[in-house]
A and B are shown apart, each in its own frame.
Chain A
Amino acid sequence: MSPFIYVRDLGKRFGALTVLDGVSLEVRAGEALALLGANGAGKTTVLRVVATLLRPSRGRATVAGLDCVKEAEQVRRLVAYVGHGSHLYEDLTARENLKFWMTLADAPVADDAIQGALAAVDLDRAEGERVRRFSAGMKRRLSLARLLLVRPRGLLLDEPFASLDQAAKKWLAEHLLAFKAAGGAIVMSTHSFGRELDVADRVAILAEGRVVLDTARAGLAADELQRLYALHAEAEA
């Protein structure tokens, strides 16, 4: 079965700075790949190229066989990207945010569907409150509520567990596992080696714009992984 997300020999330059220098990855439906790497290794850049936010300098990225550059509009309907920004209007309520984004995405939803999505992420009691008053965890859950309504086939997450408390982390991990079980593909970047890595089926380490290690997660203990990381990632520095 061909991979859902396919990245081949991806290169990206910003002026004189080379951030990606030949990255190749594959992620199948129902699979989650964790991208590890130091700051500046290129994790965010890879995600943004697949999300159609950046054009690569060379190489290609496809989602479900669709080219991320030439068929960007169609790719955007298939994958959802959650980056560092919250993509939420602070002065609108949770409900209004969802209504806006869904209508703009050409998928207007009925009020009870919005209610249902908010309930699924445990925000139904806060639905009339302005997002400005939300905690980081609540904002992350609201972003996820939006994703649930959009029903993408792939998720591209840039450090999704950052600045979440333990309860929120547990909750997010559960939802990602459910997403995977339903056939979705996930690529997520992360800094840490905690429990969030349990979501991943495979791990890839990025250093100096290249993939230095791409292996199955199963059977790899956390400290073993940390050792490998130190070996490959920091060795390149």
Chain B
Amino acid sequence: MSFARRALIVFWKDALVERRTKEALNALVFFSLVLLFVFQFALGPDRERLVALLPGLLWLGFVLSGMLALGRSFLIERENDCWEALLLAPGDKSAIYAGKLAGNLALMFTVEALLLVLFTVFFNLDLTGVLPALLVVVVLGTVGLATLGTLFAAMTADLRARELLFPVLLLPLEVPVLLGTVKATEAVLSGEGLAAASHWLALLSAADAVFVVVGFLTFEFVIEG
């Protein structure tokens, strides 16, 4: 149980700081709005074309905002000079990974919910009936992004070229997740339902499983001095 307690205290600490500074959420909310506008202007007012591209656009929005959120996972430790102190705290380091992962998931789900609402409004979508299925895909995809993202954020935390290296490392490795989520979203939004995309869901679940296990097992090697 000490694992859960320690993971929870990491989550609590990050949530507390975020509540006081509101840095991440504000920036990400604003970023989501900007993304929407950019998509509209870049792709033009042709509704038919936009709806056809919708799954891809949706996940583009999720990935771009997700990377912003994930990249700053350990920013608070760097800024407050606490990175070493995390390492020095005795005990299983993967509890820190769990806490950070939970925090990232909470943040990403919040932003994704907002993006979904914005998309529904701007593109006049009708999500009734497909929402539960869509949420399944969103959860699977977000877990796939957050697990590797949190791990790599720890790795690039104090590198000078962090902002460049983080997306370069993360994105190619997320291609399977990206393909899976877009294809599954396509199936869901076109009314075919989850059954039509079952092999994609299997792939996403497999990717999530692999990433979670690797994340938990290797995090201590990343954080150790």
A and B touch in the complex (CB under 8 A): yes
Could you list which residues of chain A lie within 8 angstroms of chain B, going by C-beta atoms?
Answer: 48, 51-55, 72-73, 76-77, 80-81, 83-92, 96, 99-101, 103-106, 108, 130
Which residues of B from 1 to 35 have beta carbons under 8 Å from A? 2, 5-6, 9-10, 12-13, 16-17, 20-21
CA A104 – CA B84 in complex, angstroms?
Answer: 13
- Nearest chain A CB to B5 CB, angstrom units: 6
Chain A: CB-nearest residue to B82: A87
- Nearest chain B CB to A22 CB, angstrom units: 22
B9 touches A100 (CB 8 A): yes
A103 touches B225 (CB 8 A): no
For the complex of A and B, the 5 pairs showing the least CB-CB separation, nearest first, are: A85-B81, A87-B85, A103-B9, A53-B225, A106-B91
- Nearest chain A CB to B219 CB, angstrom units: 14
B89 contact set on A, CB distance < 8 A: 76, 101, 104-105
Could you list which residues of chain B lie within 8 angstroms of chain A, going by C-beta atoms?
Answer: 2, 5-6, 9-10, 12-13, 16-17, 20-21, 76, 79-82, 84-91, 96, 224-225
A-B pairs under 8 A by CB, number: 77
Chain A: CB-nearest residue to B225: A53
19 more CB-based (< 8 A) A-B contacts, given A89-B80, A104-B86: A48-B225, A53-B88, A54-B225, A76-B89, A81-B84, A83-B84, A85-B81, A85-B82, A85-B84, A87-B81, A87-B85, A88-B82, A90-B80, A100-B12, A103-B6, A103-B9, A104-B96, A105-B89, A106-B2
A96 touches B225 (CB 8 A): no
- Nearest chain A CB to B10 CB, angstrom units: 7
CA A34 – CA B5 in complex, angstroms?
Answer: 38
B10 touches A104 (CB 8 A): yes
B16 touches A96 (CB 8 A): yes
CA A88 – CA B77 in complex, angstroms?
Answer: 9
CA A130 – CA B20 in complex, angstroms?
Answer: 11
B84 touches A52 (CB 8 A): no
B2 touches A88 (CB 8 A): no
A76 contact set on B, CB distance < 8 A: 88-90
A53 touches B87 (CB 8 A): yes
Partner of A103, one of B5, B76, B84, B224: B5
A101 touches B6 (CB 8 A): no
Partner of B81, one of A52, A72, A86, A91: A86
CB-defined A-B contacts under 8 Å, sample of 18 = A51-B88, A53-B88, A53-B225, A54-B225, A76-B89, A77-B90, A86-B81, A87-B84, A89-B17, A89-B82, A91-B16, A91-B20, A91-B21, A92-B16, A100-B12, A104-B9, A105-B90, A106-B2
Chain A: CB-nearest residue to B13: A100
Chain B: CB-nearest residue to A82: B85
Partner of A88, one of B10, B80, B225: B80
CA A90 – CA B79 in complex, angstroms?
Answer: 9
- Nearest chain B CB to A113 CB, angstrom units: 16
B80 contact set on A, CB distance < 8 A: 86-90
A81 touches B5 (CB 8 A): no
